[in-house]
Amino acid sequence: MALASVNVYRRAAFAAAMLLVLGLVSACATIPETSWAGVSVVGSPARLLVSYNNRVVMLDPLNGNVLNLDQARSLDLSVPVVDETAAEATAEATTVPEPTAEPTLAVNQQGQIPSWEIRSTSNTLLHFYSPVTVLDEDTLLTVAYENTLLEVRAETGTVLSTTSLPGHVVGSVLLTEDRLYIPMSDGDVIALNRQPNGSWTEVWRLDTQQGVYARPLLIDDTLYVASLDHNLYAVDPSSGAERWRLRLNGAIASAPVLYDGILYVGTLGRRIYGVSQQGEIVAEYTARDWVWGSPSIMDGILYAADLGGFVYALALDGGTLTPVWEPRQVAGRGIRATPLVTDSRIIVGSRDRNVYWLNRMDGQEIMRREVRGEVLSDLVMLEPSDQLRIGEPLVLVSTMAVDQLLTAFTLNEGISRWSYGR
């Protein structure tokens, strides 16, 4: 009994620490003291946009160098254009200021061309944690923790307009042809419509009892929302009307994944669920600890990790969740992020400041690489292509160490090619 009590206490203490780190406590008005970088891959030639603390910078994926305004001018974005048809909506407090003066290529006092960046000014203190989204071929969208949506000129990083939001944002937004869906860390999901003058208005709001950190998932004509209030919601993406909600046994911190008509999602109640698109539980598996990140699925096998450092491989035969091999405790501390899965390997990053390469067939460790900070963010795979001019596949790892915010490892050998820090 004493040992069980100690284990419960340790799990509670660990959970409290994680909630504080990620700002999940209800008193979310203060800025998170610690976080990790939000990373986006955009354009051709491909560039990395890294959001962290008071600014967003642009990196060259070949070497991790920060790009200046001259180098950023070659960026070419190609995405569907947002429908600007006006909608019946209640306007939020929206401002469409005159664009700030475009940066020139004049050198600074050090004789250098200024870096491309979206940055807080002395008059407007903003903090960026969410990945940047491409709005159209000339414009980027980003959200700041301080209740602000920004439209930004892609070529220069100039802020074109700002829109006030009803709450704080740390998660990823979802942009479609006619809507922008924003998860609010204080609670609720809002749907916005873009007006011809560039402003954004609220079309509807989904009321959740606790925060939403997961990016909404749009499948056909249904929007799925995972919330910390233990509920998985299915709503009409146009009207926000709730079609169903399913209460699970714990908070849901990451988005579900759809495979063969079934939604798979993990919870902080130590469960992995298979849920039909009609809102019924069709499969359930008990994990060793809390499951924070979304699962990955390849070749009919679901891969997940938990906050006890365990990694799972579960076969999805007929909608069931059957272990392929016994859970592997590969890390000394929690694994928050979604496993990165390739043809032969599983790669996970942990709070123990290591990145692990595992054999996909049996979960055995192949190698590990130490980093300077805890790994909480999802890993990003970069594949060589015409747009992404790198010579080999790279795995991007974001840590909580300011001097190593982002590191690029080679996929096969785990060699560190470059690191970016501040």
Task: Provide the pLDDT confidence category of residue 386 given band limits of 50, 70 and 90.
Answer: confident
Q: What is the mean pLDDT of residues 91-101?
A: 43
How large is the C-alpha radius of gyration of the chain?
21
User: Is 121 inside any structural domain?
Assistant: yes
As a whole number, mean pLDDT of residues 210-220 equals 96
Distance of alpha carbon 80 from alpha carbon 135, whole angstroms: 8
Separation of alpha carbons 18 and 24, rounded Å: 8
User: Do residues 58 and 143 both lie within one domain?
Assistant: yes
Domain of 188: which CATH number? 2.40.128.630
- Over residues 103-121, mean pLDDT: 71
pLDDT tens track for 143-166: 999 999 999 999 999 999 999 999
Is there a contact between 61 and 388 (Cβ–Cβ < 8 Å)? yes
Q: How far is CA 389 from CA 384, 386, 394, in A?
A: 6, 6, 11
8 and 151 belong to one structural domain:
no
Does residue 239 sit within a domain?
Answer: no
26 and 58 co-located in one domain: no
Examine the pLDDT at 347 and tell me if it is beyond 70.
yes
**Range picked from 3-7, 30-34, 73-77, 169-173 for highest mean pLDDT:** 169-173
- Does residue 194 share a domain with residue 59? yes
Judgement on whether residues 43 and 19 belong to the same structural domain of the protein: no
Which of 225, 253, 273 is a domain's end point? 225
Whether residues 161 and 13 share a domain: the answer is no
User: Is-contact 231 245, C-beta < 8 A?
Assistant: yes
pLDDT of residue 2: 42
Q: In this structure, which amino acid lies at residue 11?
A: R
- Closest C-alpha to 280, from 253, 243, 317: 243
Q: Which long-range contacts (CB under 8 A, 24 or more apart) does 45-49 make?
A: 45/74, 45/75, 45/76, 45/387, 45/388, 45/389, 46/382, 46/385, 46/387, 46/388, 46/389, 47/72, 47/75, 48/396, 48/406, 49/131, 49/132, 49/140
In this predicted structure, the answer to whether residue 92 has a pLDDT above a threshold of 70 is: no
Top-confidence residue, 343 or 21:
343
> What secondary structure letter does DSSP report for 333?
S
Strand order in the sheet with 301-305: 296-298, 301-305, 310-315, 322-329
Residues 25 and 42 in one domain: no
Average pLDDT (398-416) is: 96
Measured between alpha carbons, how far is 143 from 130 in angstroms, rounded to an integer? 7
- Vertex 387, ends 383 and 389: CA angle to 5°? 65
**pLDDT surpassing 60 at residue 80:** no
* Judgement on whether residues 130 and 21 belong to the same structural domain of the protein: no
306 inside domain: no
Tell whether 76 is covered by a domain: yes
**φ and ψ at residue 71, rounded to 5 degrees:** -70, -30
pLDDT, one tens digit per residue, over 44-65 is 889 999 999 999 999 999 999 9
pLDDT at 6 over 90: no
Count of structural domains within the chain: 2
Determine the distance from the C-alpha atom of residue 405 to the mean position of all C-alpha atoms in its chain, rounded to a whole number.
15
Judgement on whether residues 69 and 200 belong to the same structural domain of the protein = yes
**Residue, of 22 and 135, whose pLDDT is higher:** 135
Which DSSP category does 295 fall into? P
Tell me the two tokens of residue 236: 């009409």
The answer to whether residue 274 sits within a structural domain is no
Q: Which domain, by its residues, includes 12? A: 1-30
Alpha-carbon distance 359 to 390, whole Å?
25
In whole numbers, what is the pLDDT of the chain averaged over residues?
86
DSSP 8-state code for residue 109: T
Is 148:168 a contact under the CB 8 Å cutoff?
A: no
pTM for this one? Answer: 0.86
- Report the share of the chain in percent with pLDDT over 90: 74
Question: Mean pLDDT, to the nearest integer, of 372-380?
Answer: 95
> pLDDT tens digits for 292-328?
999 999 999 999 999 999 999 999 987 789 999 999 9
Q: Does any domain span residue 256?
A: no
Cβ atoms of 293 and 254 within 8 Å: the answer is yes
Q: What is the model's pLDDT at position 385?
A: 85
User: Per-residue confidence at 34, pLDDT binned at 50, 70, 90?
Assistant: low
Q: What is the DSSP string of 44-92?
A: BTTEEEEEETTEEEEE-TTT-PBPBHHHHTT-B---PPPP------EEP
Domain boundary among 176, 208, 225: 225
